[in-house]
Amino acid sequence: MDSKRKLANLTTETRNQATLNIDTSSTTEIVTLITQEDQHVLRAVQEEIPRIVEAAELLTEVLKQGGRIIYMGSGTSGRLGVLDAAELLPTFGVGEDQVKALIAGGTKAMFIPVEHAEDDEEAGLEDFLGEDPSEQDALVAISASGRTPYVMAPLKKAKEMGLVTIGLTCNGDSEISEVAQVTIAPVVGPEAVTGSTRMKAGTAQKIVLNTLSTTVMIKIGKVYKNLMVDMLPTNEKLQQRAIHIVAEATGITQEQAQEVLEAADFNIKAAIVMVQADCDLETAHSLLAQAEGVVGKALQIIAQEG
Protein backbone atom coordinates (compact mmCIF):
# COMPACT_ATOMS: atom_id res chain seq x y z
CA MET A 1 0.00 0.00 0.00
CA ASP A 2 1.57 3.37 -1.00
CA SER A 3 1.75 6.38 1.28
CA LYS A 4 -1.14 8.19 -0.44
CA ARG A 5 -3.49 5.26 0.16
CA LYS A 6 -2.28 4.99 3.74
CA LEU A 7 -3.09 8.66 4.28
CA ALA A 8 -6.55 8.29 2.73
CA ASN A 9 -7.34 5.45 5.12
CA LEU A 10 -6.54 7.42 8.27
CA THR A 11 -9.49 8.26 10.50
CA THR A 12 -8.24 11.84 10.77
CA GLU A 13 -8.38 12.20 6.98
CA THR A 14 -11.85 10.79 6.27
CA ARG A 15 -14.96 12.83 5.48
CA ASN A 16 -17.25 13.73 8.37
CA GLN A 17 -20.80 12.87 7.33
CA ALA A 18 -22.28 15.27 9.89
CA THR A 19 -20.59 18.31 8.35
CA LEU A 20 -20.89 17.69 4.60
CA ASN A 21 -22.85 20.92 4.16
CA ILE A 22 -21.01 23.05 6.68
CA ASP A 23 -19.96 25.51 3.96
CA THR A 24 -23.57 26.57 3.32
CA SER A 25 -24.64 26.53 6.97
CA SER A 26 -25.47 29.61 9.04
CA THR A 27 -22.96 30.93 11.56
CA THR A 28 -24.98 29.39 14.39
CA GLU A 29 -25.13 26.05 12.60
CA ILE A 30 -21.36 26.07 11.93
CA VAL A 31 -20.51 26.83 15.55
CA THR A 32 -22.99 24.21 16.75
CA LEU A 33 -21.58 21.55 14.43
CA ILE A 34 -17.99 22.23 15.48
CA THR A 35 -18.77 22.20 19.19
CA GLN A 36 -20.86 19.06 18.82
CA GLU A 37 -17.87 17.35 17.22
CA ASP A 38 -15.66 18.56 20.06
CA GLN A 39 -17.79 16.60 22.50
CA HIS A 40 -16.22 13.41 21.13
CA VAL A 41 -12.76 14.52 22.25
CA LEU A 42 -12.96 14.06 26.02
CA ARG A 43 -14.57 10.62 25.69
CA ALA A 44 -11.79 9.53 23.35
CA VAL A 45 -9.13 10.78 25.78
CA GLN A 46 -10.79 9.08 28.75
CA GLU A 47 -10.67 5.76 26.91
CA GLU A 48 -6.88 6.17 26.86
CA ILE A 49 -6.50 6.60 30.63
CA PRO A 50 -4.70 3.23 31.08
CA ARG A 51 -2.10 4.22 28.46
CA ILE A 52 -1.73 7.73 29.92
CA VAL A 53 -1.15 6.19 33.35
CA GLU A 54 1.47 3.81 31.99
CA ALA A 55 3.24 6.64 30.17
CA ALA A 56 3.13 8.88 33.24
CA GLU A 57 4.72 6.19 35.40
CA LEU A 58 7.53 5.69 32.90
CA LEU A 59 8.19 9.42 32.44
CA THR A 60 8.17 10.00 36.21
CA GLU A 61 10.94 7.45 36.63
CA VAL A 62 12.92 9.04 33.80
CA LEU A 63 12.97 12.40 35.60
CA LYS A 64 13.58 10.85 39.00
CA GLN A 65 16.63 9.04 37.60
CA GLY A 66 18.04 12.24 36.16
CA GLY A 67 16.95 11.69 32.57
CA ARG A 68 15.19 14.08 30.20
CA ILE A 69 11.93 14.01 28.28
CA ILE A 70 12.16 15.05 24.64
CA TYR A 71 8.98 15.92 22.71
CA MET A 72 9.07 15.76 18.91
CA GLY A 73 6.36 16.69 16.43
CA SER A 74 5.52 18.69 13.33
CA GLY A 75 2.85 21.27 12.54
CA THR A 76 0.11 21.47 15.17
CA SER A 77 1.50 18.45 17.00
CA GLY A 78 4.93 20.02 17.22
CA ARG A 79 3.54 23.36 18.40
CA LEU A 80 1.55 21.64 21.13
CA GLY A 81 4.71 19.91 22.33
CA VAL A 82 6.61 23.20 22.40
CA LEU A 83 3.74 24.86 24.27
CA ASP A 84 3.58 22.12 26.90
CA ALA A 85 7.34 22.12 27.48
CA ALA A 86 7.56 25.92 27.62
CA GLU A 87 4.79 26.20 30.20
CA LEU A 88 6.45 23.75 32.59
CA LEU A 89 9.11 26.33 33.50
CA PRO A 90 6.89 29.07 34.96
CA THR A 91 4.37 26.57 36.33
CA PHE A 92 6.66 23.97 37.89
CA GLY A 93 10.20 25.31 37.63
CA VAL A 94 11.15 22.66 35.05
CA GLY A 95 13.32 23.84 32.17
CA GLU A 96 14.90 22.43 29.02
CA ASP A 97 17.41 20.47 31.07
CA GLN A 98 14.51 18.17 31.99
CA VAL A 99 11.85 18.61 29.29
CA LYS A 100 12.75 19.78 25.78
CA ALA A 101 10.53 20.10 22.70
CA LEU A 102 11.67 19.85 19.07
CA ILE A 103 9.51 20.89 16.13
CA ALA A 104 10.03 20.08 12.45
CA GLY A 105 11.35 23.18 10.74
CA GLY A 106 12.76 24.68 13.94
CA THR A 107 11.66 27.80 15.80
CA LYS A 108 10.40 29.41 12.58
CA ALA A 109 7.76 26.67 12.29
CA MET A 110 6.08 27.88 15.49
CA PHE A 111 4.89 30.94 13.58
CA ILE A 112 5.17 30.14 9.87
CA PRO A 113 4.24 26.71 8.45
CA VAL A 114 7.20 24.71 7.15
CA GLU A 115 5.07 21.95 5.67
CA HIS A 116 7.84 20.02 3.89
CA ALA A 117 9.75 19.64 7.15
CA GLU A 118 7.48 16.86 8.43
CA ASP A 119 8.70 14.54 5.66
CA ASP A 120 12.38 15.03 6.48
CA GLU A 121 13.56 11.90 8.28
CA GLU A 122 17.19 13.04 8.25
CA ALA A 123 16.30 16.36 9.91
CA GLY A 124 14.34 14.49 12.56
CA LEU A 125 17.30 12.25 13.32
CA GLU A 126 19.69 15.19 13.28
CA ASP A 127 17.51 17.19 15.68
CA PHE A 128 17.09 14.22 18.00
CA LEU A 129 20.73 13.17 18.04
CA GLY A 130 21.72 16.82 18.43
CA GLU A 131 20.27 16.61 21.95
CA ASP A 132 22.86 13.93 22.79
CA PRO A 133 20.19 11.50 24.07
CA SER A 134 21.02 8.56 26.30
CA GLU A 135 19.16 5.50 27.51
CA GLN A 136 18.21 7.48 30.63
CA ASP A 137 15.99 9.75 28.51
CA ALA A 138 12.54 9.46 26.97
CA LEU A 139 11.17 10.44 23.58
CA VAL A 140 7.53 11.45 23.21
CA ALA A 141 6.62 11.33 19.52
CA ILE A 142 3.54 13.43 18.73
CA SER A 143 1.80 12.88 15.39
CA ALA A 144 -1.93 13.10 14.71
CA SER A 145 -1.56 10.74 11.76
CA GLY A 146 0.79 8.39 13.60
CA ARG A 147 3.14 8.23 10.61
CA THR A 148 5.03 11.54 10.32
CA PRO A 149 8.56 10.77 9.01
CA TYR A 150 10.16 13.57 11.08
CA VAL A 151 9.13 11.78 14.28
CA MET A 152 9.15 8.17 13.09
CA ALA A 153 12.87 8.09 12.29
CA PRO A 154 13.92 9.40 15.75
CA LEU A 155 11.35 7.13 17.42
CA LYS A 156 12.91 4.05 15.80
CA LYS A 157 16.39 5.26 16.73
CA ALA A 158 15.32 5.97 20.31
CA LYS A 159 13.93 2.46 20.61
CA GLU A 160 17.23 1.03 19.35
CA MET A 161 19.13 3.14 21.90
CA GLY A 162 16.98 1.92 24.80
CA LEU A 163 15.15 5.14 25.59
CA VAL A 164 11.61 5.11 26.96
CA THR A 165 9.42 5.73 23.91
CA ILE A 166 5.91 7.19 24.07
CA GLY A 167 3.67 7.80 21.06
CA LEU A 168 0.74 10.22 20.89
CA THR A 169 -1.53 9.94 17.87
CA CYS A 170 -5.21 10.20 16.97
CA ASN A 171 -5.34 7.12 14.76
CA GLY A 172 -5.63 3.55 15.94
CA ASP A 173 -3.28 0.85 14.63
CA SER A 174 -0.72 3.44 13.53
CA GLU A 175 2.93 3.17 12.57
CA ILE A 176 3.79 4.83 15.88
CA SER A 177 2.02 2.04 17.78
CA GLU A 178 4.28 -0.51 16.09
CA VAL A 179 7.38 1.16 17.52
CA ALA A 180 6.56 3.03 20.73
CA GLN A 181 6.71 1.33 24.11
CA VAL A 182 3.38 2.98 24.97
CA THR A 183 1.02 4.57 22.47
CA ILE A 184 -1.72 6.95 23.57
CA ALA A 185 -4.29 7.09 20.79
CA PRO A 186 -7.51 9.04 21.41
CA VAL A 187 -9.44 8.36 18.20
CA VAL A 188 -11.62 11.44 17.85
CA GLY A 189 -13.03 10.60 14.43
CA PRO A 190 -13.15 12.69 11.24
CA GLU A 191 -12.66 16.44 11.58
CA ALA A 192 -15.45 18.95 10.94
CA VAL A 193 -13.25 20.26 8.13
CA THR A 194 -11.68 17.21 6.51
CA GLY A 195 -8.07 16.65 7.51
CA SER A 196 -7.83 19.78 9.68
CA THR A 197 -6.14 18.09 12.61
CA ARG A 198 -5.68 21.42 14.39
CA MET A 199 -9.27 20.84 15.51
CA LYS A 200 -10.40 17.70 17.36
CA ALA A 201 -7.05 15.93 17.05
CA GLY A 202 -5.21 19.01 18.30
CA THR A 203 -7.62 19.41 21.20
CA ALA A 204 -7.18 15.76 22.17
CA GLN A 205 -3.41 16.02 22.02
CA LYS A 206 -3.46 19.16 24.16
CA ILE A 207 -5.60 17.44 26.80
CA VAL A 208 -3.33 14.40 26.83
CA LEU A 209 -0.15 16.47 27.10
CA ASN A 210 -1.65 18.62 29.88
CA THR A 211 -2.72 15.50 31.77
CA LEU A 212 0.50 13.60 31.20
CA SER A 213 2.96 16.36 32.10
CA THR A 214 0.92 17.61 35.07
CA THR A 215 0.67 14.06 36.45
CA VAL A 216 4.44 13.66 36.14
CA MET A 217 5.05 17.02 37.80
CA ILE A 218 2.81 16.06 40.72
CA LYS A 219 4.58 12.72 41.14
CA ILE A 220 8.04 14.33 41.30
CA GLY A 221 6.93 16.74 44.02
CA LYS A 222 6.13 19.91 42.13
CA VAL A 223 2.71 20.17 43.82
CA TYR A 224 1.75 20.27 47.52
CA LYS A 225 -1.94 19.50 48.08
CA ASN A 226 -3.13 21.10 44.84
CA LEU A 227 -0.80 24.11 44.98
CA MET A 228 2.03 24.95 42.56
CA VAL A 229 4.89 25.01 45.06
CA ASP A 230 7.72 25.00 42.49
CA MET A 231 6.27 27.90 40.52
CA LEU A 232 8.80 30.60 39.64
CA PRO A 233 7.49 33.98 40.93
CA THR A 234 9.17 36.02 38.19
CA ASN A 235 6.74 38.94 38.07
CA GLU A 236 4.43 40.85 40.40
CA LYS A 237 1.37 38.72 39.60
CA LEU A 238 3.27 35.50 40.28
CA GLN A 239 4.77 36.91 43.47
CA GLN A 240 1.27 37.64 44.69
CA ARG A 241 0.25 34.10 43.74
CA ALA A 242 3.24 32.76 45.69
CA ILE A 243 2.13 34.73 48.76
CA HIS A 244 -1.37 33.31 48.39
CA ILE A 245 0.00 29.77 48.02
CA VAL A 246 2.07 29.99 51.21
CA ALA A 247 -0.84 31.49 53.13
CA GLU A 248 -3.21 28.79 51.85
CA ALA A 249 -0.77 25.98 52.63
CA THR A 250 0.09 27.12 56.16
CA GLY A 251 -2.89 29.12 57.43
CA ILE A 252 -0.85 32.27 58.09
CA THR A 253 -1.85 35.74 56.88
CA GLN A 254 -0.88 37.19 53.52
CA GLU A 255 1.42 39.67 55.29
CA GLN A 256 3.14 36.89 57.24
CA ALA A 257 3.45 34.81 54.07
CA GLN A 258 5.18 37.67 52.30
CA GLU A 259 7.66 38.06 55.16
CA VAL A 260 8.49 34.34 55.14
CA LEU A 261 8.84 34.27 51.36
CA GLU A 262 11.23 37.20 51.44
CA ALA A 263 13.28 35.37 54.09
CA ALA A 264 13.22 32.27 51.84
CA ASP A 265 14.28 34.19 48.72
CA PHE A 266 10.78 33.51 47.37
CA ASN A 267 11.33 29.75 47.42
CA ILE A 268 7.74 28.60 48.00
CA LYS A 269 8.59 25.09 49.19
CA ALA A 270 11.15 26.34 51.66
CA ALA A 271 8.76 29.00 52.96
CA ILE A 272 6.07 26.40 53.66
CA VAL A 273 8.51 24.13 55.51
CA MET A 274 9.90 27.09 57.48
CA VAL A 275 6.40 27.88 58.76
CA GLN A 276 5.30 24.32 59.40
CA ALA A 277 8.56 23.26 61.06
CA ASP A 278 9.21 26.62 62.71
CA CYS A 279 12.75 26.51 61.36
CA ASP A 280 15.24 28.65 59.47
CA LEU A 281 15.92 28.54 55.73
CA GLU A 282 18.96 26.27 56.01
CA THR A 283 17.00 23.68 57.99
CA ALA A 284 14.10 23.88 55.54
CA HIS A 285 16.43 23.18 52.63
CA SER A 286 17.93 20.25 54.54
CA LEU A 287 14.51 18.75 55.21
CA LEU A 288 13.50 19.17 51.56
CA ALA A 289 16.73 17.50 50.45
CA GLN A 290 15.97 14.51 52.68
CA ALA A 291 12.48 14.39 51.17
CA GLU A 292 13.75 14.59 47.55
CA GLY A 293 12.07 17.97 47.19
CA VAL A 294 8.59 16.73 48.14
CA VAL A 295 6.94 19.09 50.64
CA GLY A 296 4.53 16.47 51.96
CA LYS A 297 7.40 14.08 52.70
CA ALA A 298 9.39 16.85 54.37
CA LEU A 299 6.46 17.54 56.68
CA GLN A 300 6.20 13.81 57.43
CA ILE A 301 9.87 13.83 58.48
CA ILE A 302 9.12 16.75 60.80
CA ALA A 303 6.16 14.90 62.31
CA GLN A 304 8.23 11.74 62.87
CA GLU A 305 11.07 13.68 64.48
CA GLY A 306 8.55 15.52 66.68
Condensed to tens digits (0 to 9), the pLDDT of residues 9-50 reads 788 888 999 899 999 999 999 999 999 999 999 999 999 999
Catalytic residue list contains 118: yes
Condensed to tens digits (0 to 9), the pLDDT of residues 89-148 reads 999 999 999 999 999 999 999 999 887 899 999 999 999 999 999 999 999 999 999 999
Q: Are 133 and 163 in contact (CB under 8 A)?
A: yes
Task: For 206-226, give one letter per residue: b (16+ CB within 10 A) or e.
Answer: bbbbebbbbbbbebbbbbbee
Residue 84 confidence (pLDDT) above 70: yes
Kindly list the structural domains of the chain, giving each domain's residue range(s) and its CATH number in brackets, ordered by start: 7-219 (3.40.50.10490), 223-305 (1.10.8.1080)
Backbone angles phi, psi at 74, to 5 degrees: -130, 160
Backbone angles phi, psi at 198, to 5 degrees: -70, -10
Residue 222 confidence (pLDDT) above 50: yes
User: Is the pTM value of this prediction over 0.85?
Assistant: yes
Q: How far is CA 52 from CA 47, 59, 63, in A?
A: 10, 10, 16
Catalytic residue list contains 262: no
Stretch 50-62: mean pLDDT: 98
Considering only CA atoms, which of 145, 138, 139 is closest in space to residue 185? 145
Q: Are 246 and 268 in contact (CB under 8 A)?
A: yes
Condensed to tens digits (0 to 9), the pLDDT of residues 274-285 reads 999 999 999 999
Query: ∠ CA(241), CA(245), CA(248), 5° rounding?
Result: 135
Active-site annotation holder among 37, 48, 118, 175: 118
As a whole number of angstroms, the distance between CA 131 and CA 27 comes to 47
Length of the chain: 306
Backbone angles phi, psi at 268, to 5 degrees: -65, -45
Residue 187 confidence (pLDDT) above 70: yes
For the chain, give the mean pLDDT: 94
Active-site annotation holder among 87, 96, 131, 248: 87
Query: 303 pLDDT band (50/70/90 cuts)?
Result: confident
pLDDT at position 302: 84
Percent of the chain past pLDDT 90, that is, above it, reads 88
